[in-house]
Chains A and B, each alone.
Chain A
Amino acid sequence: MRSLIDILDLSVQEIEELISVSEDIIANPEKYREKCRYKKLATLFFEPSTRTRLSFEAAMMELGGNVLGFSDANSSSSSKGESVSDTVTVVSGYADIIAMRHPKEGAPLVASMKSSVPIINAGDGGHNHPTQTLADLLTIKREKGTLENLTIGFCGDLKFGRTVHSLIAAMSRYKGIKFVLISPEELKLPSYVKETYIKNKGIEYEQTTSLDDAMDKLDVLYMTRVQKERFFNEEDYLRLKDSYILTPEKLVPAKEDLIILHPLPRVNEISTAVDNDKRAAYFRQARNAKYIRMALILKLLEVD
């Protein structure tokens, strides 16, 4: 029985297989409509989320399975003080697979140590969000045709942005990758992420505070939101939240085949005027998330 806690739990080969199954699901959805009949997915969301939870639930429903769970900690027994271990021990008796989001970092790992069914980390605080990374990888592959030889710019909150950390870790395994890290000083990529996945692997990178300077070099621009919930101090949040706002004017020097990604939800960091630009791939990325989660559920449930 396998769980997915960190994107690096999956080999490059396994990610390729998931991408390939996702593409087959997109092309032939009817083939998959009964694959998880009589199977149940529990969505244990101890922290509010709209798209991730709905995407997991839609994924399971499109596989013919059922869904149960809760969508915030107040409606679960954790509000009575129940531990993650106990919650998961109980729920793994009711469901065949569990998708868990939790504000505390490492909670899904604890769950996987106790559970008798596969656990999918659906986001643990500012730490990891591997299924978002799978959606990012599927989108890059579908839009660019490859996961190699790309210059990828990450812009915004690179410190607390878990999707950024996971995508850097994942992309660092492909050939010819270059990273451009664009953030204010206070929200720079944590040094251990930079050392482990960039410096130690000899990957070329640039660090800058200017989105304008980086724009013309990028094949992929990964925008992020400055997340209020990651700050202990509201003053810091207010000071940094509008650091980078992507507008059509800012995109003038960008490549014609650039793709703009965002894990969503956005607040104001991408102007809605950018949405009609063919390079804006973030809504396609959100759709892809459902397909790759379908592929992942099939893999972890060992359904052919």
Chain B
Amino acid sequence: MRVDSMKDGMVIDHIACGKAMDIYSMLSLDKLDCAIALLQSVPSKKMGKKDIIKIDRILDINFDALGFISPNITIDIVRGGEVVEKKHIELPEKLTDILVCKNPRCITSVEQDIHHVFRLTNKEKGIYRCIYCDTKA
């Protein structure tokens, strides 16, 4: 399969297989009016299979959220047809307003205008807990 190379844009690569649609929804890519290619189950030497998203525009992206959905993602920034920057995304230490605490006893269930914050408590297992009540995400 071939997708045309881009002049200015970004490639979100090394997405865990099956997670591209989650990222597509989370970044609201359906609202953009530029070309977007979403590739699923692409053969990969490192990962076996992976997903890739190509966006024909450079966006200001919440990298923390990407790292949470699929750790080890890379982002290539392309300008003038060349990759000018490569970002490696890891699990962020903190997630702000990406997840909502499910604990009905948590203050976030009733307090208005409060940031929903989760901190990484176990890097190996990728476990996040609510900073207010310690409930697992």
Contact = CB atoms under 8 A, between A and B. Distances in A.
Interface of chain B, main secondary structure: loop
B52 interface: no
Interface in A16-36: none
Contacts of B110: 104
A110 interface: yes
Interface in A68-87: 83-85
Interface residues of A, number: 17
Contact of B133 (A83, A84, A127): A127
A102 B111 CA distance: 12
Given A83-B111, A85-B111, A106 B136 contact: no
Interface string A94-121: 0000000011111101100000000000
A161 interface: no
Q: Chain A interface mostly helix, strand, loop or mixed?
A: mixed
Contacts, number: 53
B111 A109 contact: no
Interface in A103-149: 103-107, 109-110, 124-127
A38 interface: no
Interface residues on B, range: 20 to 34
Given A106-B131, A124-B107, 14 more contacts: A83-B113, A85-B111, A104-B110, A105-B103, A105-B133, A105-B135, A106-B107, A106-B132, A107-B107, A110-B107, A125-B105, A126-B105, A192-B134, A196-B121
Interface of A: 83-85, 102-107, 109-110, 124-127, 192, 196
27 contacts: A83-B111, A83-B113, A84-B111, A102-B107, A103-B105, A104-B106, A105-B103, A105-B105, A105-B106, A105-B107, A105-B135, A106-B107, A106-B131, A106-B132, A106-B133, A107-B111, A107-B132, A109-B131, A110-B107, A124-B107, A125-B133, A127-B133, A127-B134, A192-B121, A192-B129, A192-B134, A192-B136
